[in-house]
Structure 1
Amino acid sequence: CRFTEFGGTIRKRPVEDLSFAVARFVQKGGSFINYYMYHGGTNFGRTAGGPFITTSYDYDAPLDEYGLAREPKYGHLKELHRTIKLCEPALVSVDPTVTSLGSMQEAHVYRSPSGCAAFLANYNSNSHAKVVFDNEHYSLPPWSISILPDCKTVVYNTATVGVQTSQMQMWSNGASSMMWERYDEEVGSLAAAPLLTTSGLLEQLNVTRDTSDYLWYMTSVDVSPSEKFLQGGKPLSLSVQSAGHALHIFINGQLQGSASGTREDKRISYKGNVNLRAGTNKISLLSVACGLPNIGVHYETWNTGVNGPVVLHGLDEGSRDLTWQTWTYQVGLKGEQMNLNSLEGASSVEWMQGSLIAQNQMPLAWYRAYFDTPSGDEPLALDMGSMGKGQIWINGQSIGRYSLAYATGDCKDYSYTGSFRATKCQAGCGQPTQRWYHVPKSWLQPSRNLLVVFEELGGDTSKISLVKRSVSSVCADVSEFHPSIKNWQTESSGEAKPELRRSKVHLRCAPGQSISAIKFASFGTPSGTCGSFEQGECHSTKSQTVLEKCIGKQRCAVAISPDNFGGDPCPNVMKRVAVEAVCSPGT
């Protein structure tokens, strides 16, 4: 999958296709698989590159950036790995023999004195295939591979997912109890840092050396009192060309407008009306870098910052090019120079207090609040859905950049079948690309943790909250003849008791949780997916009662058999169990 960028969608890869790719590689003799990513992570500080790559570096991985299993991806891949391990004696002894089973089906067979393993593949992305292998009949779902560790028994099929699906939630105790204070950043303060003055516009990173995301470009313009725009004429406008990545335009300390590039096109072409007065006017352009380039052709030559031209339009003289006049440069913000994000620096200035501070919509503002670490073992995150764009620190450690950029893309329904490409499976259209920001618990102390937020655009800090990431519900959808590694191992060990062969539904809440309710249960021919299951024409009325025996347990297994559900609701019909269980904190 491609990088996740602010303003972009979340790219996913169905586990049915991922496991198909891995099994296909192994069946052809592959012996080393690298998952990218297997465990998601977080770009803390200013380490996210791109530019515009999100702070979250999760990529729909089997283990998410909080260290939690993403089901069914984690469980289905775990079963694949176990199945391949069962085939090991044969796989490492010989090369495979390839046999055609149909126009788009084939078998890769490893036969050796140490064992036999077979991979039956169906490359058709639209339809099931009935094949004959070693005088036995097998059904292969579309775009799938069945693995037979003994060349007889299907133990695993890449398209048949029997593990649970976990639905995650970001859970808050309610309204934030944090009391916020504010410190306003000075626009183009000349006393905050060493200054550089020169004619013309300089490339940003050559000036900042990446010591800060921020660089002020400052100059002045003299306006005659006789200018027609001062007498009610057409207002002036300012055009600014920038190599990126974001830009805020201030005239005499007042924000006039903002603009931003994208990962695909970092350049900014801004033009907007500006309010000037008679006399000397100060123009301050705050250029913002949103991460260093990390990939691309000769990206070491890419520029950042205001590169011009910068032109003032609408004066009596016409247009005035400001590009080559004298500009003063200031690296970073005054708050950065004062280390307002640190425990010591945050105590060195006077912060404004009051009930209206949180709702402040003024740009360039620092906020601080203190909070106690909540109880429990769940991973933590900050909900930044009420803010605009900026950076976050906790106890002096940088959580990273945040941006409430809404995702645009093509979030249509998708199928696991067919060749995968990065744009095929998109999610999150119309939602912020990233709303929650991971807070490592190792950075926290039991009480009075310092939270500092620098907001570029304006936001409502009263709605910032610390949330817990946890499992809200778990689902399973398993057929009565679902292939199972445990069932095959049971048979191989000689324990052929019928009750040991039966397929089972396995449900498991997170540690510290238990099953508190069964939202849906059906043994028969249910349809739908997790969160939207529906009963089919065939349904056992005992389904709810049987599954409710799991209530109060952290994990539960239920055998799929007519006897367990009070009889067969529809003989001679393939049946399945679909269930959705609610997970709640245990008592």
Structure 2
Amino acid sequence: MMKRWISGEKSFGREGMYLQTASYDFDAPIDEHGKPTGKYCHLSNLHRILQENSSILLASDEPLKRQTDEGLVEYEWSDGSHNLVFRCNDSAGDGPASAASRGNARIPPRSVSILRDGELLMNTARAAVARSVRRAMRPLNRVLSGLGGWDEPMPDAWPSALRKPVIFKEPVECLSLTQDDTDYAWYCAELSVDGRRAGLGTLRFEAAADVLYVFVDGKLKGYSLPPLPENRSLHESARRNEGGGAGFRQEFSMKIAAGAHSLQVLCVSAGLIKGDWMLGGANMAEERKGLWGPVLWNDIPLPGPWRIHPGLVGEKFGIFGRAGHLIQWRNDLVRRPHTPLRWWRMFFRKPSQVEPLALDLGTMGRGFVWVNGMPLCRYWLAQALGEGGPGEPVVSTRSSEPTQRYYRLPASMLEEENTIVVFEELGGNPSGIRVCVWDEIRP
């Protein structure tokens, strides 16, 4: 547990929790690549000062505490020859008026100045420029080679050996079918629209999780947009398959002509939850994915039956590994840009500098990536909202940028010749994928 607060980490494969980015550094002093950050250097300076003045700090059991006229709190240690003073400004304000002065020194809010015999050693709000660390991602390859794509087939086009759906009268959540071995499950049913309810209408899913892609007659009609609610309520009614609680209902506005149509919904898990509070206090063992409540077109429930196909054909074939050589990959990105539900494969040689590396997925949308047949992580280029949790937020990403663009590429995954396979759900641009190095910017 202690390591989490010292060093950043990364979730690999499908280990990431619900709505958790693959990278989680918690603003740690050491980043997920094992490299020191500016905070590390700042804390190192603090520890050095404490170590060098340990004899003063240990000379007395307790410091002398006093309140100054400027509203500061001072703690003084002394060994008879030297003294060490911690001068604290506990003001919570952020404006210049919150800064307090003592002598000629201004002390920013929520900071401490450390002085030895009246000499300022450091202020915790100011990082020494000489000790700061700045890094940036630098692309190593202009273009990855051998780009090719392969379409994930719709359920009615699956190979006959795989076309064995589980059939229910009503939708059934899919964790009981997938055992959480895949993020994906297709739900298919007939959608009959009479003349009175044709045209623009609303398709409503009373209980659905997490990301939905809605197809009618094989055409993408809508998909779930971020942000998804982090905390949702799983009511007793949901346990009886009568619908979901707050946060599980999803609606899509679309035009459908009168007649019989095929409805195909790809449900995608965004990871398992972290605790019971994310289900409104329900036991986290009751977590659900997929569909498990009524589906209505303009308030009229679809009668069913529902055919459920867990997983993807590409997953079942294992085209992210050696079986990918048996697939006919087509480089038709120019002719078919931004095609959803598409697999992409590309190659790169191992660079001379193998640590620390990352994949730049800034041109992609949402999906999953494998390297040399090994699952790297989910990715989702959703824009950051700039919203923090309880207390003071720590914001390292501007609200106009993705929550995560660069995904750590461990050296242990690399060979001399490397293969990247991406399943892209939304239709990103794989020609923009780059291998980058996490370089230090020197002044």
1:212 aligned partner, one-letter code: T
Unaligned runs of at least 5 residues, structure 2: 233-246
Aligned to 1:464: 433
Aligned to 1:128: 100
SS at match of 1:179: strand
Deviations along 1:411-450, whole A, 9 cap, x unmatched? Answer: 9xxxxxxxx933375641111111111111221112x201
Does residue 325 in structure 1 map to residue 304 in structure 2?
yes
State the Cα distance separating 1:199 from its structure 2 match: 1.9
Aligned to 2:19: 52
Aligned to 2:330: 352
State the Cα distance separating 1:410 from its structure 2 match: 6.4
Give the Cα separation in 1 of the matches to 2:123 and 2:296. Answer: 64
Deviations along 1:5-30, whole A, 9 cap, x unmatched? Answer: xxxxxxxxxxxxxxxxxxxxxxxxxx
Q: For residues 439 and 207 of structure 1, do their structure 2 counterparts lie closer, same or farther at Cα, with a shift above 3 Å needed? A: same
TM-score by length of 1: 0.63
For 2:8, which of 25, 40, 61 is the aligned residue?
40
Does residue 454 in structure 1 map to residue 423 in structure 2?
yes
State the Cα distance separating 1:202 from its structure 2 match: 1.5
Give the Cα separation in 1 of the matches to 2:435 and 2:60. Answer: 55
Deviations along 1:299-333, whole A, 9 cap, x unmatched? Answer: 514433223321123xxxxx5412x5321222111
State the Cα distance separating 1:113 from its structure 2 match: 8.7
Figure out how many residues of one structure are paired with residues of the other and give that number.
410
State the Cα distance separating 1:175 from its structure 2 match: 3.5
Structure 1 contact 122–129 (Cα < 8 Å) conserved:
no
2:436 aligned partner, one-letter code: V
State the Cα distance separating 1:216 from its structure 2 match: 1.4
Structure 1 contact 75–163 (Cα < 8 Å) conserved:
no
Structure 2 contact 141–436 (Cα < 8 Å) conserved:
no
Does residue 389 in structure 1 map to residue 366 in structure 2?
yes
Does residue 96 in structure 1 map to residue 76 in structure 2?
no
Structure index of larger Rg: 1
SS at match of 2:5: coil
Structure 2 contact 174–310 (Cα < 8 Å) conserved:
no
The correspondence of residues 298-317 of structure 1 with structure 2, limited to 5 A, is 298=281, 300=284, 301-313=286-298
Deviations along 1:251-283, whole A, 9 cap, x unmatched? Answer: 22222211143435653421322546745x322
Deviations along 1:522-543, whole A, 9 cap, x unmatched? Answer: xxxxxxxxxxxxxxxxxxxxxx
Structure 1 contact 362–458 (Cα < 8 Å) conserved:
yes
Structure 1 contact 251–282 (Cα < 8 Å) conserved:
yes
Aligned to 1:376: 353
2:326 aligned partner, one-letter code: S
For 1:206, which of 157, 172, 176 is the aligned residue?
176
SS at match of 1:201: coil
TM-score by length of 2: 0.82
State the Cα distance separating 1:112 from its structure 2 match: 5.9
1:219 aligned partner, one-letter code: A
Give the Cα separation in 2 of the matches to 1:277 and 1:258. Answer: 22
Aligned to 1:82: 48
Q: For residues 410 and 259 of structure 1, do their structure 2 counterparts lie closer, same or farther at Cα, with a shift above 3 Å needed? A: closer
Structure 2 contact 199–257 (Cα < 8 Å) conserved:
no
Give the Cα separation in 2 of the matches to 1:108 and 1:235. Answer: 70
Q: For residues 191 and 283 of structure 1, do their structure 2 counterparts lie closer, same or farther at Cα, with a shift above 3 Å needed? A: farther
Q: For residues 257 and 251 of structure 1, do their structure 2 counterparts lie closer, same or farther at Cα, with a shift above 3 Å needed? A: same
1:199 aligned partner, one-letter code: K
2:334 aligned partner, one-letter code: L
Give the Cα separation in 2 of the matches to 1:410 and 1:259. Answer: 20
Give the Cα separation in 1 of the matches to 2:102 and 2:219. Answer: 72
Give the Cα separation in 1 of the matches to 2:257 and 2:313. Answer: 25
Aligned to 2:275: 295
Q: For residues 333 and 308 of structure 1, do their structure 2 counterparts lie closer, same or farther at Cα, with a shift above 3 Å needed? A: same
Give the Cα separation in 1 of the matches to 2:214 and 2:65. Answer: 68
Give the Cα separation in 2 of the matches to 1:327 and 1:39. Answer: 47
The correspondence of residues 449-528 of structure 1 with structure 2, limited to 5 A, is 449-472=418-441, 509=442
Give the Cα separation in 2 of the matches to 1:402 and 1:257. Answer: 20
2:373 aligned partner, one-letter code: G
Does residue 161 in structure 1 map to residue 133 in structure 2?
no
1:99 aligned partner, one-letter code: K
1:96 aligned partner, one-letter code: E
The correspondence of residues 61-460 of structure 1 with structure 2, limited to 5 A, is 61-71=28-38, 73-92=39-58, 94-103=60-69, 104-111=71-78, 117-124=84-91, 126-130=98-102, 139=105, 141-143=107-109, 144-148=111-115, 153-164=119-130, 165-173=132-140, 175-188=142-155, 189=158, 191-192=161-162, 195-221=165-191, 227-228=194-195, 234=199, 237-260=202-225, 261-264=228-231, 266-275=247-256, 278-279=259-260, 281-297=261-277, 298=281, 300=284, 301-313=286-298, 320-322=300-302, 325-342=304-321, 344-354=322-332, 356=334, 360-376=337-353, 378-409=355-386, 421-423=391-393, 425=395, 427-446=397-416, 448-460=417-429
Aligned sequence identity (%):
28
Structure 1 contact 146–156 (Cα < 8 Å) conserved:
yes
Q: What is the RMSD computed on CA atoms of the aligned residues?
A: 3.1
Q: For residues 118 and 234 of structure 1, do their structure 2 counterparts lie closer, same or farther at Cα, with a shift above 3 Å needed? A: closer
State the Cα distance separating 1:123 from its structure 2 match: 2.9
